[in-house]
Amino acid sequence: MARAAFIVCLLMACAWSSHAVMFKLSPNTQKCLKEDIQANQLVMGEYEVSEVPGQIIDYIARDTKGHILSQKEHITKGKFSFMSEVYETYEICFISKVPAQKTNSRVLFFSIFSMCCLLGLATWQVLYLRRYFKAKKLIE
């Protein structure tokens, strides 16, 4: 019995350490977690996002030079992992987006596209009618 307890204690001592973090993320904000990590270390994480209507959450893991190590959009629940190449500070950012911003930009581009089409068709119509009336000899 003492031997089994010793083995269980030994296994628990060898287990990797992990930290749980919980935070609230307001719309259109980002929350970054930074950690100094030794070289050649496997960094693994797990996340779970509570459903909030009208809000989209993305995450991105970067090093101090801005290189993207891991990235995912529209997350709800999952895992991530990356290998640290050198000793430096790594950051994982959770970004909250509101789809209305994307919709607004799409409406803007669609409006510009519609105006260009309208101007193009109006120009074509004027040129066509001018040629038509000249052919019928209604204008000079």
33, two tokens: 């977690």
pLDDT per position as a tens digit, 95-137: 998 877 778 888 999 999 999 999 999 999 999 999 999 998 8
The pLDDT of residue 139 is 79
The pLDDT of residue 26 is 85
Strand 77-83 to strand 42-48: parallel, antiparallel, or no bridges (unpaired)? antiparallel
Give 24-47 as a DSSP string: ---TT-EEEEEEEE-TT-EEEEEE
The pLDDT of residue 16 is 56
Is 8 a residue whose pLDDT tops 50?
A: no
Indicate the pTM of the whole model.
0.58
Q: What percent of the chain has pLDDT over 90?
A: 49
Domain boundaries, the chain: 19-97, 105-140
Let me know how many helices (H) and strands (E) the chain has, helices first. 2, 6
| More confident position, 118 or 140 | 118
Q: What is the architecture, at CATH level 2, of domain 19-97?
A: Sandwich (2.60)
The pLDDT of residue 13 is 45
The pLDDT of residue 17 is 60
Q: What is the mean pLDDT of residues 50-68?
A: 88
Amino acid at 24: K
| pLDDT grade for 22, boundaries at 50, 70 and 90 | confident
